[in-house]
Amino acid sequence: SVRALVFYQQVNNIPEDDPSDRALPARISRVKVKISRRKILKSTCEIMRSFAANKSIIEIVFQDEIGSGLGPTLEFYSLASKAWQRENLKLWRSDAAPVIGGIDSAKHAEVTVDDTTTVTVADATNTSSTTDDASGVSDSAGKSKYADASYVYAPHGLFPIPWSKSASDGSVEIMRKNQLCILDALGRFLARAILDGRLLDMSFNKCFLMWLINQEGLFDLSHVKLVDETLWKSLTTLVAVCDTYDAIQRDATLDTAARDSKLKTCTLDGCAIEDLCLSFTLPGHDDIELCDGGAEKDVTLSNLREYVNAIVEVTLVTGVEQQMHAVIEGFEKVFPLSSLHLFSADELDKVICGSDPHVWDSEDLLKVVKADHGYSSASPQLAYLCDVMSSFDRDQQRLFLSFITGCPNLPVGGFKSLRPKLTVVRKSVSKPDDELPSVMTCQNYLKLPPYTSEAVLRERLITAMTEGQGSFLLS
């Protein structure tokens, strides 16, 4: 395909106008979409509905900002990734209190096709109630209720909150319809990111990824640990009681009296299962029945294993199948999910999110960072930079990558796989120690003044990458 040819050119650093035999006639049309930084989620849903299936590459330009091209586009995918994780969407399981962070989100999106034709996408605040109500970001007056949005805390990755088979009332049914529309847009967003080679700043639970590659039929109790470790521990304890019960029932040497006597020892911390007053409802979700009439069905020693198996099934499959089918249907509006079935869940995670975080080694960095336009591999500033980068913790790494590339993650393979390569060029100024470095994100260019010491470089770089977020302007 043309996209494969373009990728070949990028990996081998072949310009599109290379006159040699290496050059390939690979050029893909682009759709430029201009959006505001406000209401990112609504703008993303509108863009995905309108352009996800478009064969052109989507590029993002932020309103009132000069920058265009790869940098703003990668930042858009990062901002949108964060917006999908908002707690008020009520889509995802969370292991703790929501994380507070500031992200507001586009009253409209203006679309330029091939730099000549302009199309105006409907005002996101005037789209159907599915987007407005489901996102929960606007009240009746259209004001943002979440200037300081909360985000779910899911250290093992995002996985949907389970639903009951049917909505309890009309308001819940409307909310679910809205949430399914958002999840459909998320599916398109995921597919579009993979298609265009954009990394996302969101982590999905392994069970979520297994759904995408048609492996939900493999789920068992061990997979509950990936979603809810506390629940898994409780179920494991109950399974031990089940195993003891089954062993007693299979023991042909016991008469009825001896068997009944032994069964009385099948307790949970000395408490009989019947005395726990459990019913066939999902723990933590009394409105979700594990079977028809589950709220009225008591858990006993004889049906305990049935209870455990039902919890596993509802937690991982039937309780989330509506949500996952919405994601899958949205994804397949862009390209077939069967194309991903060759990947394992762990491999798919790297395709979506890039490489795992790790320590940056100074010597390794010197091998992959390109010095140009005033600097060489022997320049002391290059060594200063690599030493400073090697000292960064994970949060500082993310800030640095966002500053340089617009995305807080590296592709699989790390800096070696970054395209274009990270390039450091000399920024000619009269008083270098007083100046901040600047970047050209579309080319992964770091414009670095000739600082006189590593300490000065560290201080000026950290200031720039901390304060220089959130806009693309001329440097």
* CA distances, 155 to each of 87, 94, 206, 353 (Å): 14, 9, 12, 14
**How large is the average pLDDT for residues 48-60?**
88
| Direct distance between the N- and C-terminal alpha carbons of the chain, in angstroms, rounded to an integer | 37
Tell me the pLDDT tens digit for each residue of 416-448: 888 889 999 999 999 999 999 998 888 889 999
For residue 10, name the pLDDT band (cuts at 50, 70, 90): low
Asked whether residue 52 carries a pLDDT value surpassing 70, the answer given is yes
pLDDT score recorded for residue 300: 96
Model confidence, pTM: 0.81
What is the rounded CA–CA span in Å between residue 441 and residue 179? 34
Catalytic residue status for 442: yes
Tell me the pLDDT tens digit for each residue of 207-247: 999 999 999 999 999 999 999 999 999 999 999 999 999 99
Q: Which residues contact 167 (CB under 8 A, 6 or more apart)?
A: 173, 176
Asked whether residue 124 carries a pLDDT value surpassing 80, the answer given is no
* CA distances, 340 to each of 55, 331, 346 (Å): 19, 11, 12
For residue 121, name the pLDDT band (cuts at 50, 70, 90): very low
pLDDT score recorded for residue 86: 93
Residue with tokens 């003044």: 449
Among the listed residues 212, 190, 213, 210, the one whose alpha carbon sits nearest the alpha carbon of residue 334: 190
Q: Which residue has the higher pLDDT, 319 or 116?
A: 319
Asked whether residue 130 carries a pLDDT value surpassing 70, the answer given is no
What is the rounded CA–CA span in Å between residue 455 and residue 446? 18
pLDDT score recorded for residue 222: 97
Asked whether residue 313 carries a pLDDT value surpassing 80, the answer given is yes
